[in-house]
Amino acid sequence: MNTEPKDIIVLGAIQAGIKKFDKIQKMTQIEPEELNSILEQLENRGFIQVTEKSGLLGKKIEILLTKKGSNEVDKQVHELQTKWNQMSTLYKTQDKEGLKQYMDESKSFFPMMIFFGVMNIEMFSMMFGMIGIEMSNYVPTENMPEGEEFDTDVEF
């Protein structure tokens, strides 16, 4: 399955119970035009279902996860956990070169790891210190959890 990181983040938001476009947009920080495109692709692939309901205030559109979409999120989160476990092992064994190479190969997964809470942020920060680089080289500031303090200059 060729699923992009933003697709999985959107599916994760929906799986968490966010059913409205504006709330998904706010939670994922994806621009409305791009989010609309992602939602259309997810619907075409059978991962989500868009329903329209009539309410007191007019039509209400809800976005729901299908069983196929739920399975895809679960599969991707399992893959993220496997990647995190591999990075943790490389860190714990002090394999600087192996860790740097693995982080380089896996950097597109970092926003998803943060979004799904798969990684230990403190250990993640220490990994960057161990290999002597800044976290911002790998994770854009907008993808870092708000209210978290990151020490990207950890010395050993």
Q: What is the pLDDT of residues 83-94, one digit of tens each?
A: 999 999 999 999
What pLDDT shows up at residue 17?
A: 94
**Which amino acid, one-letter code, is at 149?**
E
pLDDT band at 148 (very low <50, low <70, confident <90, very high): very low
Domains of the chain are 5-65 (1.10.10.10), 69-143 (no CATH)
Percentage with pLDDT > 90 across the chain: 58
pTM of the predicted protein model: 0.77
Q: What is the pLDDT of residues 32-82, one digit of tens each?
A: 999 999 999 999 999 999 998 887 778 888 999 999 999 999 999 999 999
What is the structure's pLDDT at 144? 56
67 half-sphere exposure, CB direction, 13 A CA radius: 0
113 near 146, Cβ under 8 Å? no
Is residue 146 within 8 Å of residue 115, measured between CB atoms?
Answer: no
